[in-house]
Every structure is written in C-alpha cells, then in structure tokens.
Structure 1
Amino acid sequence: MMDPVQVCIPVSDPSQVGEVRRAVARMAQPLTMSESRRGDASIIANELATNLVRHARDGRILLQVMSHGASRWLELLSVDGGPGMADVQRCLRDGYSTGGTPGTGLGAVKRLSDEFDVHSMPGKGTVIVSRVATHTALPNVFAVGAVCLTAQGEDVCGDTWRSVERERELAVMVADGLGHGPDAAVAANLAGVAFEGEPFASPEQFYQSAHRSLNGSRGAALARAVIGSTGEVQYSGIGNIAGSLVGSERSRGLASQNGTVGVQIRSHVSTYSHVMPAPGVLLMHSDGITSRWSFDQYPGLLLRHPAVIAGVLSRDFVRGRDDATMLVVSRSRKDDIHV
C-alpha cells in the first residue's frame, strides 16, 4: 500500500528552498533509506526548488511517499507554469546551468534519481518527477502516478486513491468524499480502507463492502479499475469519478453509474471491459479537475511517466475550488523513465 498524503509547497522565494529540503528530510526520516540516499534526496530537493526560484513562475513542489508492488519511493514532483524549456536535453546535461550555480542542476537530479522524467513546453511550463527508492526491487508490470491536492483553505483532502499490484495484475481506485473538509476526508478514507481489504474482489462484493463501510458518513463517489497482464481493463464506478483510456489515436470515456457509496447505490454494479491501448494510459480523476483536457495540446506527453502526466493535467485543468485527484496508469516502460 501507499500513503496517499501529498505535501504541496509553493516555491517562489529562496527561503522556500530550505523549507522543501526540511520537508523532504521529515518524510525520509521513517523510511528505510541509507544516509547516502537521504543525502541524495536532499540534493534533489535543493536543485528542483532552486530551479523554480531562478527560472519559473507559479512553481511548487509536491512530495509524497509512493508504494507500488514491491517498490517504495520518496517522490518529488516539480510543477511550474512557465516559461518552459526549449531544449530539454541540453538542460539535462550533468553540469549544465543557466543561473551561474556550481553546476549540478537537473543533470544531477536525473543521475541521483531511481526514476526520473520531465515534460516541458515553452509557454506552458515544466513538470519533473524524481523518485528515490528506499530499496532495490524487481520492476513492476505497471507504472502508477498520482496527484492529490487539498482544496484551498482546507487542512485535509476529501479525495483519496489507492493501487495494489499482484501477480501481473493491478487494481486502482479513486474516491471523492462529498464536499470537502474533514467529513469528506473521513468518507474518502473509509473507501480507501475498504479497497485495501479486498482490492480484487468482484464488483458487487467490493462496492457492497464499501457501501457498508461508508454507512453513516457523507458518502463518496468511487471508481475502481482492474487491469490484467495482457492489458484487459475491468472498470466500474458509482458517482462522478471520470475515467478514460487514452491512446495515440483515440480516447475512450469510461462509464460510471449514478449513486453515492454509503448513501444510496444499486444492488447491481455495471462493469465494462476494455483493452489498454499500447502505447496508452488509464486516467481517473475526481471532479476537482475538469474533463476538458486533451493530449493533443501536449506533444509527447502520452509517452511520459504517469506522475508527469498527472502533474501536467492537474496543473492546467484543476478547478481550484475543490479537492482534486488525478491517477494515471501505464504499462511500465523502463527505457522511457530516464529521458
């Protein structure tokens, strides 16, 4: 399992660079990481935050601990609104710097990361993911990335997500507690606990169990997908969680049925079977993100790491007045992770 809590630190002032480093140190403290890798994570935090101060606008660092399959990482996601990099490969050369720094820069971030990827467009901005593994693990069949943002003015998030991989199949879920704030967070996390108890159960069993668990709460919108080893996708949902399968040639919306888990649902939950496009992604998000996104606006984004995709689309299509969660899944492409 993973800890879905994500820390968001705005970065526009040099004093906030230290804040990012300290937050990374706190998150690394309970993890089984060597002192050397803790130091590497601190360097990565310093370089990404310094880069935002010197070169970007509307910059922020998103931090979370990710667990997926047998792997566990400390993840740093750098997101900004411009100006973007015209030549990404040049900026990634170890030692390249446009700001007169000692010259470690993004090349060092890439070198020190167990997983690294970047997408940048002039005029739109840059998203960079760096993951530092707590231990060496076998590669996973699937790659998962997510952004989970708390509504402005709230201390807790009323959305959550989960992922579980076993024997070459993956189960993922997104839940959105009604409204926002503490009561919504309680409902969403009850859905998360229900998923953790039986992530691969039949749709009827899973949703009925979640419905019982959320009884007495505000209730939640909830969607789950199970992806098999050959790319078959079993998708089901109750409420307004949006789902899509996106390939290079077409995008297919995934249907959910009306209802609120914990309040009122039908006895039968419809499940729809699809095939994951190759290349392509499964994308699920709460209604804190609009559905007006299109990969046509972002050349090359479909082939990027799922965390980068989630960062780009949540940056540009978040509504701003509600909790917002975007979950992205692809088949693992280890050759594409380090650009």
Structure 2
Amino acid sequence: MIPHIDVPVSEQSQVGEARRAANRLATDHDLDETVRGRVAIVVTELGNNLWRHAQKGRLLIGCRRSDEGCQLEVIAIDSGPGMADVARCLRDGYSSGGTPGTGLGAVQRLSTDFSVFSSPGKGTAILSRTWVPSPGTPASPSFRARFAHAGICLAAPGEVISGDAWDVRIDGDGKATVIVADGLGHGPVAAEAAAEALKAFGTLRGSPATVLERAHPALRSTRGAAVSIVELDANAGTVVYAGAGNISGRMISGIEDRSLMSQHGTLGLAIRKLQDVSYSWPDHSIVVLHSDGLITRWTLKDVGGLLQCDPAVIAGWLLRDFTRGHDDVTIVVLKRG
C-alpha cells in the first residue's frame, strides 16, 4: 500500500518539495493537467501558510483509487498559533502577513471537500480533497450521503513502504465495513502480510469474525498481521467489531468514549476463536480504528467542534499529537455522512 507523503514545512523550499511530490502522485494516478494544476495551487497556498505562520507544520498528501474514481487529499497540520476566527481567515482579502490574503479562500473554492479545525494556542488542521469520478460515476458519489470516512497511513521513519494497510467497503444497504491490518515488523515483508489481509477482505463475505477466521489460513505464508474489521450499519444504528492483535478501535463522541474489544493473536500465526462484539452506534459518535503506531491512550477532550469536521481532519489531529514516532501508523475515522 502506498503510504501518505509526509513533508515538514518550516521554510519556503519545502513548499516546492511538497508541490512536486503532489504532482508525481497525481501523475501516477493518471489525473489530468487541470486537476494537477488545481492541486498544485492548493499545496502552494497551504504550504505558504505553514512556513509563514505555523509551528511544526507539515503537509500530508495521499491518493486513493476505487471503482468510483480517485480522490487526492492534502492535509495541513500544525501546532499553533491557531486561528481565533476561521470564517474571517477564509474571506478573500484577509491577511495576517502582508499577502493578498486569498490563500484559504482559494483552497476552499478549488476543493471538492474542504474542512478546517483550529484552536487558538493548539494549532490547526485543514483538509482539501479533490474528487475525480470515473466515467459514468456521479460527480458526488451516492455513498457520501450515508458515510464519511478517511484514513491516513504513514511508513515508519526511514521506510518507504508501510507495513500497515486499510480498506473500506460501502454497500448500498446502509452498511460500511472497514479493515485495518498491521503486518509484523516494518517494510516490504510486513506490507505483504497486510496486503494479503486486504486481498481476503476484498473477496470474503460474512461477519467480521467470520472473515478474519477465513482469512487466517491465507496469511500463513506471510509473516502474519494484527487485523481488525468493523461493520457499521447506519439503518440499525449498530457496530459489529472483531479483531486479532493490537489494532485498536474506539467509538467516541462528546459524551461517550468506548473501546472496541480485540482478542490476542496474529492472523497467519495463531489466533483464538474470534467473536463478533456488537455495540449500539449513536448518531453523534465517530468510529476510529488505528494501528499501534498511535498510542492507545489518546484523548480528544478540550477540542470542541473537532468531531463535527471531516474524518480526515480528525485523523490528522490525532496523528499530530499521539503518534509514537518510530513505527508505521494508520488511522481510519468513519462517521455518518
């Protein structure tokens, strides 16, 4: 799986580095010149904001293709100083640094999806998503009406390939199913194990525990992986979860924080009898799955309003504050659309 490109931005030259990386990624996914031009402007504007105004700024750039089309995401995160009035900063003509002040307003207009969260003294996370539908696919895919989801995957420091992987399947009956896999170790061998888990997920059907148990033999030829699957039913308001190993699941809202229970074991090596665990899924709750590259005792207290943002903004905020920093990391966030 291709991890996100992670570019720290503390000087102007790094903005150009991020822009070139985004262009290569868009070209590799056969996005046309018009789309590449829009993305270049987005990266430039967000990058310039980071090096001019932010502390510990970075740009995360990722692209995912599915049968419906291709989406390229640019996520800007920093540790301050934050914006006291986001709406004012989005208006053309506003500037805090002597520039024309059309940066964030231009990013919003050029984006298919745009979301921002900022807290004075804590920092900012901004998403710009460009959606390019496949021929015959509606400009706004129907699945977006029921579910909103995003995932960030980064390779361990010094690695090019991530040993983590994730995927999502959204059905027309109001269900979404998400898998997160963490191959043992780092690099290509770990990635092979995670890829085998995703291959099984793409072909097997059944409850999360059933799919994991049937995938277990397919991973015996690999190093093995920790894997969790969650099935969300928007109509029934339920979450069904099963996992083996150290993939963590949480269901969180402003009033509730519930862990989703995995069991010990490693797919492809040894697992116990897996069980599906069902939970009610309140309308206001988000579901987060992540590998152990993120610490387990993270919290989103004292960031009111973040949970109302796009899942990519939530994932970026978690990544900024709670990454261990020495391992592959994957964070997937899903909520009702």
Give the TM-score normalised by the residue count of structure 1.
0.91
Q: Which residue of 2 aligns with 1:106?
A: 104
Distance across 1 between alignment mates of 2:8 and 2:206 = 40
TM-fit CA distance, 1:31: 4.0
TM-fit CA distance, 1:208: 2.8
Q: Secondary structure at the match of 1:297?
A: coil
Residue ranges of structure 1 left out of the alignment (5+ in a row): 333-339
Residue ranges of structure 2 left out of the alignment (5+ in a row): 134-138
Contact 1:64 1:76 in 2 (8 A): yes
Distance across 1 between alignment mates of 2:252 and 2:109 = 30
String of CA shifts for 1:4-26, please: whole Å, max 9, x gaps.
53111111111111111111211
TM-fit CA distance, 1:235: 0.7
String of CA shifts for 1:87-139, please: whole Å, max 9, x gaps.
21111112322222233211111111110101111222111110011131334
Within 5 Å, give how 1:98-137 maps onto structure 2: 98-135=96-133, 136-137=139-140
Distance across 2 between alignment mates of 1:67 and 1:174 = 17
Runs of 4+ aligned residues of structure 1 deviating over 6 Å after TM superposition are: none
Alignment match of 2:249 (pick from 243, 251, 255)? 243
Distance across 2 between alignment mates of 1:209 and 1:282 = 24
String of CA shifts for 1:294-314, please: whole Å, max 9, x gaps.
222311111111100000011
TM-fit CA distance, 1:205: 3.7
Contact 1:4 1:161 in 2 (8 A): no
Distance across 2 between alignment mates of 1:279 and 1:215 = 39
TM-fit CA distance, 1:323: 1.1
Instruction: Confirm or deny that 1:282 pairs with 2:287.
Output: yes
Distance across 2 between alignment mates of 1:115 and 1:35 = 20
Change (3 A) 1:315 1:69: farther
Instruction: Confirm or deny that 1:73 pairs with 2:52.
Output: no
**Alignment-mate amino acid for residue 195 of structure 1:** F
Distance across 2 between alignment mates of 1:190 and 1:72 = 23
Q: Which stretch has the larger CA shift, 106-115 or 85-94? A: 85-94
Q: Secondary structure at the match of 1:311?
A: helix
Q: Which residue of 2 aligns with 1:195?
A: 201
Q: Which residue of 1 aligns with 2:263?
A: 257
Instruction: Confirm or deny that 1:212 pairs with 2:210.
Output: no
Q: Which residue of 2 aligns with 1:55?
A: 53
How many residues are matched? 328
TM-fit CA distance, 1:216: 2.8
Distance across 2 between alignment mates of 1:58 and 1:305 = 22
**Alignment-mate amino acid for residue 271 of structure 1:** D
Q: Which residue of 1 aligns with 2:335?
A: 330
Change (3 A) 1:66 1:160: same
Q: Which residue of 2 aligns with 1:337?
A: none
Q: Which residue of 1 aligns with 2:179?
A: 173
Contact 1:83 1:124 in 2 (8 A): yes
Change (3 A) 1:120 1:263: same
Distance across 1 between alignment mates of 2:252 and 2:199 = 28
Instruction: Confirm or deny that 1:226 pairs with 2:224.
Output: no
Contact 1:222 1:241 in 2 (8 A): yes
Distance across 2 between alignment mates of 1:34 and 1:72 = 12
Q: Secondary structure at the match of 2:270?
A: coil
Distance across 1 between alignment mates of 2:31 and 2:307 = 32
Q: Which residue of 1 aligns with 2:141?
A: 138
TM-fit CA distance, 1:209: 3.1
Within 5 Å, give how 1:18-29 maps onto structure 2: 18-29=16-27
Identity of aligned residues (%): 46
Change (3 A) 1:237 1:83: same
String of CA shifts for 1:8-61, please: whole Å, max 9, x gaps.
111111111111111121122244645333221111111011111101121111
TM-fit CA distance, 1:322: 1.2
Contact 1:68 1:164 in 2 (8 A): no
Contact 2:2 2:162 in 1 (8 A): no
Contact 1:24 1:42 in 2 (8 A): yes
Q: Which stretch has the larger CA shift, 319-328 or 34-43? A: 34-43
Q: Which residue of 2 aligns with 1:335?
A: none
Distance across 1 between alignment mates of 2:191 and 2:302 = 33
Distance across 2 between alignment mates of 1:212 and 1:89 = 53
Instruction: Confirm or deny that 1:44 pairs with 2:42.
Output: yes
**Alignment-mate amino acid for residue 141 of structure 2:** L
Q: Which residue of 2 aligns with 1:296?
A: 301
Give the TM-score normalised by the residue count of structure 2.
0.92
Distance across 2 between alignment mates of 1:323 and 1:186 = 14
Q: Which residue of 2 aligns with 1:318?
A: 323
